[in-house]
């Protein structure tokens, strides 16, 4: 059970990393959308006769790095290469300790908490009567 709990905690951490990565992609997309909206604003300022401000915005802000030397896609790529992929590889390696179960702790919780035979408590989609052991739990000795 100690191994299942430890791998489950690592999987929980990986899920948090996935969520952080999603926020990073949202940051990337939102910043890109803002840059395109800025381009539209520059054109509208020019059309309204505000060439000086439009020129400054185009020169100093449009296409500007968000971090030194980096656009957002480079931030995403660096995060993935230096942290995300390493984390993911370790999580996959640790899952081998539980038979490659992706959610060993949750599977054990399901096994302990479900009520066999009660609708809505089926062990798996393949067990419509809810009586079988196919709950996705893992058997690990540690």
Q: How confident is the model at residue 111 (pLDDT cuts 50, 70, 90)?
A: confident
What is the average pLDDT across 101-120? 86
Give me the pLDDT at residue 133, please: 58
What is the average pLDDT across 38-54? 98
What is the average pLDDT across 110-139? 74
More confident residue, 37 or 131: 37
More confident residue, 126 or 136: 126
What sections of 48-99 are H helices per DSSP?
51-60, 72-79, 85-95
Q: How confident is the model at residue 135 (pLDDT cuts 50, 70, 90)?
A: very low
The tens digit of pLDDT for each residue in 17-32 reads 999 999 999 999 999 9
Q: How confident is the model at residue 129 (pLDDT cuts 50, 70, 90)?
A: low
3-state secondary structure 3-31: HHHHHHHHHHHHHHHHHHHHHHHHHHHHH
Asked if 33 and 27 touch (Cβ cutoff 8 Å), the reply is no
% of the chain beyond a pLDDT of 90: 66
């Amino acid at each position: 059970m100690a191994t299942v709990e430890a791998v489950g905690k690592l999987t929980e951490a990986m899920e948090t990393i996935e969520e952080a990565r999603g926020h990073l992609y949202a940051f990337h997309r939102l910043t890109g959308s803002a840059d395109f909206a800025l381009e539209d604003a520059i054109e509208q300022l020019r059309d309204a006769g505000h060439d000086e401000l439009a020129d400054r915005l185009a020169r100093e802000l449009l296409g500007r790095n968000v971090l030194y030397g980096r656009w957002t896609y480079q931030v995403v790529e660096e995060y993935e290469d230096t942290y995300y992929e390493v984390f993911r590889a370790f999580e996959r390696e640790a899952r081998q300790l539980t038979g490659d179960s992706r959610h060993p702790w949750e599977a054990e919780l399901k096994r302990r908490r479900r009520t066999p035979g009660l609708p809505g408590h089926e062990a798996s989609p393949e067990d419509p009567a809810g009586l079988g052991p196919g709950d996705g739990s893992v058997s690990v000795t540690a």
